[in-house]
Amino acid sequence: MSSESSATFPVKRGLAEMLSGGVIMDVVTAEQAKIAEDAGAVAVMALERVPADIRRDGGVARMSDPDMIDGIIEAVSIPVMAKARIGHFVEAQILQSLGVDFVDESEVLTPADETHHIDKFAFEVPFVCGATNLGEALRRISEGAAMIRSKGEAGTGNIVEAVRHLRSILGDIRKVGQADSAELFDWAKRLQAPLPLVQEIAQAGRLPVPLFCAGGIATPADAAMAMQLGAEAVFVGSGIFKSDDPAPRARAIVEATTHFNDPAVLAKVSRGLGAPMTGIGMDEINQRYAERGW
Amino acid sequence: MRVGVLALQGAVHAHLGALQRIGVDSCPLRRPGDLDAVDAVVIPGGESTTMSMLLASSELLEPLRRFVADGMPIFGTCAGMIVLASEIEDGRDDQVALGAIDITVQRNGYGRQLQSFETDVALPETGTFHAIFIRAPRVIRVGGGVEVLAHHRGDPVLLRQGSVLVASFHPELTNDPSIHELFVNSVLRAGMAG
């Protein structure tokens, strides 16, 4: 009667549901975490360098220093997420022991395993993983991810890849929904995804976990576009703290994510924010993070 | 009868779906005028500090206060319970507490995500309900005139005062309609009385 089960899949996915309609902001210090919370973030992502800096500095990008993550957990009352390298289950074990609320197995960090992602069912902490297409999303879900985010191209301030990935995932969900039962076998083969998950999506018309958008959001309009395309919430990485005036921009992106369908509100919150992060075109980058993950 | 679900942030679609499954007409609430078109309001789970800020900036705070003052039916789950409480511990200083129900809640009173859990709780009349608690608020004081409808390990987890119903867990995340039905039936009774 009063027996309790923690870390079940419904409990993991439940937190993802609670973050819906919100903005998760990358922060590298406790001060930035406070600014994010003050602006209405639903959660913060603690990491050592924002993606734009990882891109600029190069080298191997790893899990953050536990001291820094502790400091951020201490500074805010909203959920705290942190990134582990793809396949680096020990980084994930460490993050779980620190008490973070979500682990992001992230392509923004340098992959630790070029074949295997983390077995996320083996953990109590929920995981979010990136995906560029429906097959990748379903493989991550089959490994235990409780949330999917479209990857976009982190650290560019350019929404184009996020749009491509969202359209790919959601467009294929719509197509799978039109397929007959025999065609679903072929879909499972083409997507390289488990048949039961493909059948579930055909039935439900949506992923079995929330789909958020990440990678390139720099303005309130970008966030609203992701939401109108069908994302359930947004991650903003470099877009806030690489802009001229982070606090008002963070607040404006929160408002835009809620009122994504209301152009009058979007116009109002887009005024006077100062310069967004400069951003870069896809033909100017030599490393596409979105290609990491298998 | 039409039930509005506050759609500033949080598990809005889960509540809209739960209401739809029991045949209740529902709609999301985002703008000040939206409240005029509904007979009852659901405040979903989510991040209470975010919702609190968006209530003010979306000019929904005053209409919602009037809705409460008029004794209209409101149902709050998790973060929604925090927004409806009269006092909040471990919240932000600027956080909204509508005082619709005379309880004190401790934000994240059961701990962080790793301490989140699911369990069966006993309900009056309808039997057990499978309840999911996510970084849930803990009720640490219950005022006179507040009815405790369910407990878990000694803590009140489902409470009612007049037309206001609150739960520290998430009935919208399970397929059991009994708590949404409990709310809707009280709305219907209030409608007939009025």
Backbone angles phi, psi at A224, to 5 degrees: -65, -35
Strand order through the sheet with B40-43: B25-29, B2-6, B40-43, B74-77, B164-167, B155-161, B147-152
Nearest CA in chain A to B90: A77
Q: Which residues of A touch B53 (CB under 8 A)?
A: 40, 254
> Could you tell me which of B60, B22, B38 has the C-alpha nearest to residue B191?
B38
Q: How far apart are CA A238 and CA A156, in angstroms?
A: 8
Given an 8 Å threshold on Cβ–Cβ distance, is B113 in contact with A125?
yes
Q: Kindly report the three-state secondary structure assignment for every residue of A196-236.
A: HHHHHHHHHCCCCCCEEECCCCCCHHHHHHHHHHCCCCEEE
Return the number of CB contacts < 8 Å for A and B: 125
Q: What is the largest CA-CA distance in chain B?
A: 45
Beta strands in chain A (DSSP E): 4-6, 23-27, 43-46, 80-85, 102-106, 127-131, 147-150, 211-213, 234-236
Tell me, yes or no, if B59 comes closer than 8 A to chain A by beta carbon: no
Q: How far apart are CA A292 and CA A106, in angstroms?
A: 9
Residue with tokens 């009994």: B178
ipTM of the prediction? 0.96
Which pLDDT does position B126 carry in this prediction? 75
Which region, left, alpha or beta, applies to residue A227 given φ > 0 means left and ψ of -120 to 50 means alpha?
Answer: alpha
Nearest CA in chain A to B136: A15
Per-residue pLDDT of A217-241, as tens digits, reads: 999 999 999 999 999 999 998 999 9
Tell me whether strands B74-77 and B40-43 are parallel, antiparallel or unpaired. parallel
Binned at pLDDT 50, 70 and 90, residue B193 comes out as low
Per-residue pLDDT of B81-108, as tens digits, reads: 999 999 999 999 999 999 999 999 999 9
Number of Cβ within 10 Å of residue B90's Cβ equals: 13
The answer to whether B101 and B161 are in contact (CB under 8 A) is yes
Q: Which residues of B touch A127 (CB under 8 A)?
A: none
Q: How far apart are CA A237 and CA A277, in angstroms?
A: 11
Residue with tokens 């560019």: A156
Which pLDDT does position B13 carry in this prediction? 96
Number of Cβ within 10 Å of residue A39's Cβ equals: 22
- Burial-class residue B125 by CB neighbours within 10 Å (0-12, 13-18, 19+): exposed
Given an 8 Å threshold on Cβ–Cβ distance, is A2 in contact with B90?
no
Q: Which residues of A touch B107 (CB under 8 A)?
A: 77
The answer to whether A15 and B6 are in contact (CB under 8 A) is no
Which pLDDT does position A3 carry in this prediction? 84
Just give the CATH number of B2-189: 3.40.50.880
> From the CA of A99, how many Å to the nearest CA of chain B?
7
Per DSSP, the three-state class of A30 is: helix
Given an 8 Å threshold on Cβ–Cβ distance, is A78 in contact with B54?
no
Mark out chain A residues that contact chain B at CB-CB < 8 A: 1-8, 10-11, 14-15, 17-22, 37, 40-43, 77-79, 96, 99, 101-102, 124-126, 254-255, 257-259, 262
Where are the alpha helices (H) located in A22-131, listed in sequence order? 30-38, 51-57, 66-75, 89-98
Q: Average pLDDT for consecutive 10-residue bins of chain A (294 residues)?
A: 85 98 97 98 95 91 97 98 98 98 97 98 98 98 98 96 98 98 98 98 98 97 98 96 95 98 98 92 90 92
pTM of this prediction?
0.97
User: Of the given ranges (B41-45, B180-184, B190-194), which has the lowest mean pLDDT?
Assistant: B190-194
Per DSSP, the three-state class of A288 is: coil
**Which amino acid type is present at position A267?**
A
Given an 8 Å threshold on Cβ–Cβ distance, is B134 in contact with A41?
no
What residues does A213 pair with on adjacent strands? A150, A234
User: Average pLDDT for residues B122-134, to the nearest whole number?
Assistant: 91
Binned at pLDDT 50, 70 and 90, residue B187 comes out as confident
Is the pLDDT assigned to residue B62 strictly greater than 50? yes
Neighbour-count burial for A244-277, b at 16+ CB within 10 Å, e otherwise: eebebbbbbbbbbbbbbebeebbeebbeebeebb
Is the pLDDT assigned to residue B190 strictly greater than 80? no
* All structural domains of chain B with their residue ranges: 2-189
Tell me whether strands B101-106 and B138-142 are parallel, antiparallel or unpaired. antiparallel
DSSP symbols for B107-119:
TTTT-SGGG-EEE
